[in-house]
Amino acid sequence: MAPRTSLALAVVVGLALALPHAAVAQGIWPERAENLQVLPHDLPAENLRAVMQGFTRSLGVRCAYCHVGEEGQPLGTFDFVSDEKRTKNVARQMLTMLGEINESLSEIEPSGGERVNMWCHTCHSGKPRPMTLEETLAEVRTREGGGAVVERYRTLREEFYRGNQYDFRPGNVEGIAARTLEAGDTTTAVALLELNADHFPDRADGYERLGDVAQLRGRTEEAVRRYQRALQIEPENPRVQEKLERARGG
């Protein structure tokens, strides 16, 4: 395995480690970790902290996500040796997969000066589950219904808009709304489009899509109003001009 791949394995995955309680309680990193099944058995003590911190940054989680213990309590109260939590064993599988991917990548001729490697944060981007915005909202709709989708979208955008965890670009949100409409959830699709238009008031495409949905719903006056707003932003857009004429009955 390439040196950078080995470094990736050592830096990003802390949950495969199991720390003796006494050493942690005293605030001392142990010379040797216990119950290692994927990481090297001779992992140096000085790498232990980097491993833990790397995993925390990559997935945006704390020790209690994969280890038996209560968030906010001293680390000395955690059972780091235990394999009780499913997430710990899943992470071992993910770590093995990461190594296999990087071994395969090492056989590909690099397109630039530096060879590309996979890391935990490549997919996770600070999220425990590496899901896209569309996947996250679709899961919410399946579990909680369309009404919860808009609220979750608001929450995610408020928390993550300045980060790279989710794609909040207007075209992506409009695409999500279109596929939500195709799934038969018109109310949620319109709500997403309206929020998107509020966030990007100078984007003609957003108002055009709102006009299209209004037409599908038989709301001609609303469609005309939406198309007119789109034309205020892009007066020479022939596609919207044609839609406006059809909406007016021309």
Q: How far apart are CA 121 and CA 137, in angstroms?
A: 21
Q: What is the DSSP letter of 73?
A: S
The residues spanned by each domain of the chain are: 3-124, 133-247
Residue 228 confidence class, pLDDT cut points 50, 70, 90: very high
Q: How far apart are CA 249 and CA 245, in angstroms?
A: 6
Yes or no: say if 227 and 207 are a contact pair by the CB < 8 Å rule. yes
Q: What is the pLDDT of residues 146-180, one digit of tens each?
A: 889 999 999 999 999 988 899 999 999 999 999 99
Architecture in CATH for domain 133-247 = Alpha Horseshoe (1.25)
CA dihedral 67, 69, 73, 74 (to 10 degrees): -60
Q: Give residue 80's pLDDT.
A: 83
Q: Give residue 29's pLDDT.
A: 54
Report the predicted TM-score, pTM, of the whole model to 2 decimal places.
0.74
Ranking 26-35, 92-101, 117-126, 219-228 by mean pLDDT, the lowest is 26-35
Name the residue among 64, 84, 63, 75 with its Cα closest to residue 25. Answer: 75
Q: How far apart are CA 107 and CA 125, in angstroms?
A: 25
Reduced to 3 states (helix: H, G, I; strand: E, B; else coil), residue 10 is helix
* Residue 2 in tokens: 């390439």
Q: For 35, list phi and psi in degrees, rounded to 5.
A: 65, 35
State which amino acid sits at residue 38.
Answer: V
* Residue 69 in tokens: 């213990």
